[in-house]
Structure 1
Amino acid sequence: MTESTLTAPFRYDVVGSLLRPTALKQAHAQLAAGDITAEAALRVQQTEIKHIVDEQVKLGLHAVTDGEFSRSWWHLDFLWGLTGVGKYDYHQSYKFKGDHTRTDNAELVGKVAFNPDHPFFKAFSYLQSIVPDGVLAKQTIPSPSMLFRDNRSDNWHQFYDSWDAYLDDLAKAYHETILHFYDLGCRYIQLDDTTWAFLISKLNDDQLSTADHDHYLQVAQDAVTVINALLADLPSDLTVTTHICRGNFKSTYLFSGSYDVVADYLGQLHYDGLFLEYDNQRAGGFDVLDRIWNGDAHKRIVLGLVTSKFPELEASDHLIARIHEAATKVPLANLALSTQCGFASTEEGNQLTEANQWAKLQLVIDTANKVWPEA
C-alpha cells in the first residue's frame, strides 16, 4: 500500500455528512409520527447507509462515513447522549443567513461523564461491519467546545464548584468516549467545531467591549485546554482531526472572517489534521496557514476548496492553483483536499442533488490525484 493509503487525513478526504435519501427522511418522519416501529426505521437507515458506503468505496475514498444518517443534528444528538447533558427547547433558532433552524438545544442536567450506552457506539459498530478491508470507517462527533456555547453550560455552577472542574470532567468524558470508539475498531475520528468561526466573528467585531474581548479569548484558551487534554495519551495508531466549520444549513452559513484572530490558538491544538473551510472569500486568504500548521511535520492541513453548498463544479485547474498557493505557506506534503463541509450537517441537507454530491467528491479525488499522484 502507498503512504497516502496508510495516513489519515488522506490526500482526498470526506468531511462527514451526506444528503439524506428520500426513503430515510420518510422513515424518520414515519417513526416520529408513530406509524412505523424503531426496528423498521433502523432497517431503512442501515440499508441507506450500506448504499452510501458502497458509493464512497466505489469512488475510491480511503475513509468513509455513514453520512451521519443515524442523527438529525451534526452536534446535538451526540451531546444529548453524554451523561449529564439533557435536551430542551431553547425557543430560539440558529440564525443562519437567510434561514432559521429548529429550536432544539442541549443543557447540563448533572455532571458530565462518559456514557457506555451512547447510541453512537451502535451506529459506529454497524458502519465498521460493512466497511471493506483497506478502507477506514471514519467517525465524526462535535468538539467539546460546543458545550461552551449557546447557553449550554450556563448552569454549570449547579453541579461544579469551579469552571475548571467542569472542563476537567468534559475532557475526561470525551477521552473515554474516544477510547471506546477505538475499542470498537475506530482508527479515524473527527471533532467538528463551529466555535472557532464563532470566535472569529466576535473577535473581528469593532464594537466589542474590552470585557467581551477578554471573555472570548478565554473561551479560545479553554477550548485549547480541553481539546489537548482529551487528546493526551490516545493510542498512536488513532488519527484524530478537526473540521473548523462556519455553519452549514440548507446551503446557508453563520460566520465569516479570516482565521487570523484564532490562528495561534489553532496552532496549539494537538490534532493530526485540521479541515479548514476555504471555498470562498468569507474565509480570508492563506496568509495565516503557517501559523495554524505551526511547523508540525506530522500534521496535515486539509483545504476545503470545493463547496458543498452549491451544485456548480469548480474548475480543477483553479483548485490546483489554489493548492500550490497554499503550499507557499505549508509544505505540499502537509496539505490535502476536501469539500469545505459535509453536505447535510442537519437532516434537511444542502440545496443540491445526490448526483451533485457524488460529482463534488469525484472532483476532489480527481484534483488531488493530479497534485499528489501517489494518492
Structure 2
Amino acid sequence: MTHLTYDIVGSFLRPEEIKTARKAFKDGTISKEELTKAEDLAIANLVEKEVSHGLKYVTDGELRRRWWHLDWLKEFDGFETKHFTKEINGTINEIELGTITGKVFYNKEKEHPEVQAWDYLHSLAQKYDGVIAKKCISGPNMIFIDHFLQLGNKETPYYGTDINVLIDDVAKAYQDAIQDFYNHGCRYLQIDDTSWTYLIDENFLKKVFSLGYTKSQILNWFQTVSTKALEGKPEDFFIATHFCKGNFKGNPLFHGFYDSVAPVIAEIPYDAFFVEYDDARSGSFEPWHVLKDKNAIFVAGLISTKNPKLEDHDFLKKRYEEAKAIVGDQIALSPQCGFASVEEGNCIDEETQWEKIDLLVSCSDFL
C-alpha cells in the first residue's frame, strides 16, 4: 500500500432507489431483508461505477448507513444513541448522539452487520483485477466527544469517573474489531475521526472549558485511546485515518487551523493521514512537516465534495507540489471528505460527484 497515489474518503450520494427503500422500511412497507437486497444491488452498481471511473480502491459508499460514525459505534456493547431535533444552518434536523451505557466491548461471539457489509463489499471487489476494497469505520475518540463533551456527562454508569479504565476498554474493543476485519480478509481500513477538529474550534473549546476540561487533557485522551487501539494490529494491515472540519449535508461544523493538533495526531502510528485542505480555512500545510521523516503517507484532501464548482487541474497540481515540499515524497491526493457523511448527502448532484472523481483520477499524471 505504500504506492498509494490517489483515493477517495468513502461515502457517496445515496441513489434514489436507496432513499426509496429506506423510507419504505421506515414506514414498515418492506422488510429488513428487502431493504438489504436493495442495498446490495445499489452497492454492486456503485462498485462497478467506481471501477469504471478508474478508482483503484473502492468502498460501499456507506449506503447502508444513516450516520458516518454512529452506525459503526453501535457495534460495541455498552454504547447506545439518543435522538434529538436540532436547528442547524436554519433548518430543523433529526440528530443522534452517542452515550456510554455500560462496559464497552466488541462481542466476538455475535454477528456484526458492519462485518457482514464488509464481506459483501470484499466479494464484489474481488471480481475486478487490481482493485482493493476499503472498509471505513469511525474512530474511538467519537465515543468520548459525544458522551462527555456533546452531552456534557461527567461520568458513566459503569466506569464512574475512571477515564483510564474506559480508555483501555474502548481501545481493546477496537483491537478486537480490527482483528475481526483482518480475519475476514480486510487489508485496508480507514478510521474516520473528526474529533480532532472539534479541538481547533474556539467556540467548541469554550464548551470544553465550561465543562471543566482542558484542551491538553482531551488531546491526551484522544492520542492515548487511538494509539492503544492500533496495538497488536497485523503488520500487513494498512490502517489510515481521515478527519475534516465536519460535514453535515455539505456544511462544515468547525473552524480553525491544524497547528495545535497535527503534532499530536502524527504520533499515532497510522499508515496514512487523510486531511481536509480544500479551501483557505485549513491554513498552510506546515503543521504536517512532522510527517516528513515518518513512514506514513500524507493524503492531501484538495478536491471539495461540498462545493459543486469543479477545481482546476493545474491549480490542484500547484497545491499538491506545495504540500509535497513540506511533507516529502510520501504524499497522495483525495477529496477532502466523503460525498454523504449523512444519508441526505452534500449539496451537489450525482453528475458533479462523478466529475469530481474523474478529476481526481486525471491528476494521476502528476502524482
Scaled by the length of structure 2, what TM-score is found?
Answer: 0.92
1:295 — aligned with what? 293
Match status 1:304 vs 2:296 = no
2:103 — aligned with what? 111
Residues 1-375 of structure 1 mapped to structure 2, 5 A cutoff: 6-7=1-2, 10-89=4-83, 91-93=84-86, 96-99=88-91, 101-116=93-108, 117-131=111-125, 132-151=128-147, 154=153, 156-160=155-159, 162-202=162-202, 215-291=214-290, 293=291, 295-296=293-294, 298-331=295-328, 333-367=329-363, 369-372=364-367
Q: Any idea what SS the aligned residue of 1:150 has?
A: helix
Structure 1 residue runs of 4+, over 6 Å off? 207-213
Q: Any idea what SS the aligned residue of 1:148 has?
A: helix
Q: Any idea what SS the aligned residue of 1:112 has?
A: strand
- Quote how far apart the aligned CAs of 1:310 are: 2.0
Structure 2 CA distance for aligned equivalents of residues 348 and 75 of structure 1: 15
Structure 2 CA distance for aligned equivalents of residues 71 and 211 of structure 1: 33
Partner amino acid, structure 1, of 2:268: L
Q: Any idea what SS the aligned residue of 1:288 has?
A: helix
Structure 2 CA distance for aligned equivalents of residues 209 and 157 of structure 1: 18
Is the 1:286–1:326 Cα contact (8 Å) retained in structure 2? yes
Partner amino acid, structure 2, of 1:271: Y
Structure 2 CA distance for aligned equivalents of residues 210 and 190 of structure 1: 31
Structure 1 CA distance for aligned equivalents of residues 208 and 40 of structure 2: 50
Structure 2 CA distance for aligned equivalents of residues 236 and 327 of structure 1: 26
Scaled by the length of structure 1, what TM-score is found?
Answer: 0.90
1:3 — aligned with what? none
1:148-169 CA-to-partner distances (Å, cap 9, x unmatched) read 1133683644212521001000
1:171-213 CA-to-partner distances (Å, cap 9, x unmatched) read 00011001101111110111111111100104996x7897879
Partner amino acid, structure 1, of 2:256: G
CA RMSD, Structure 1 to Structure 2 (Å):
2.1
Structure 2 CA distance for aligned equivalents of residues 312 and 214 of structure 1: 40
1:6-39 CA-to-partner distances (Å, cap 9, x unmatched) read 436x211010100000000100000010001111
- Quote how far apart the aligned CAs of 1:100 are: 5.2
1:33-91 CA-to-partner distances (Å, cap 9, x unmatched) read 000111111111100000110111112212100000111100111112211111222x3
